[in-house]
Structure 1
Amino acid sequence: MERKTGGMVWRCTQAGKVLEVVRTDFPSLPQATVVGESFFNLLPRSSRELAEQWWQDLSDNTRLLPEIMLGEGPDQQSFTVGATVSQQEVWLFWNTAPLLPNAENAPSSASQDQQKQEWEPDSQHVELLEELSRVNNELVNARRELIRQNIELHRAHKKASPPKEMP
């Protein structure tokens, strides 16, 4: 698979079996090799254990699964994976964008003290940062709502479409 920026959306069972590749920006990934397979079997061994633990905590946890490799060999693509549990399905959202730092991988206290000495924000900067944080939260919430609506639209489309007949 060539390295590129983009993402994918997969619909899976709660056991992790891929039911459908709903969307992909990676046409070189053969859908026939993905559909029907376990999500975990598509990962290299180095990512599998972490993914299985993440999957078990999925309903209680909204953490992203960072730096997951898809496939084996030199053409591996690194993804950040998110999920939404919906009724009897799990929707996986694969994205090549790197995960933003959080409290777990934030700079150490010593480097934070050094940064604080270099720049002390004034009240105008604090207000701007608070506004940016608020707008970012709204964007995250809007994105979640869009995902929910896309899932509903996909289901409605599936119900409205007649089953395809095999020749």
Structure 2
Amino acid sequence: MISKKTINAIEVCVFLAGRRNVGYVTTTELSPRLDLSISYLENILKLLKDHKIVTSMKGPGGGYMIQGDVSCISMWDIALVFEQTLDGALPDHEDKRSKPASYELGLEHVIKDTLSKFTLSDFADTSSAVMKSYAQEMGRFHFKPLAAPFMPKAPNSVFQLHMTF
């Protein structure tokens, strides 16, 4: 089965593929957009970087970006970074219960075939020419929006008071 970490990694890659024309994306920008903590994102991105799916750059203007052509990276390539396959499991002669059952292997093959058919370009929205950056959308100082002012529902003067009764 596919773990939550794999699903989050696929979401990260789809987001990065959609933001490819903008440039590098920081974990500070990714975190509120995907509702994931920065440390969790860094763990995911480290594994993706080790498997050459994303690239990173340090310093001002740095961050993470999808490496290579998004139409060549399948969803299975991303899932394979985080999932252990049953095909590589060594048979255990002493314990029959540790062998994967035929239905488990069949399910894994269905998942592999399905995820191999889709690439990042199938899910990433790269059509929009201009995308707002996080700083443009949230503002330079990251202030929360102001609460709506409280307007009392009462008469404004003594003369309006007699009209309410």
Greater percentage in strand: 1
Global fold match (TM > 0.5): no
TM-score by length of 1: 0.31
TM-score by length of 2: 0.31
Q: Which has the higher contact order (CA 8 A, sep 6+)?
A: 2
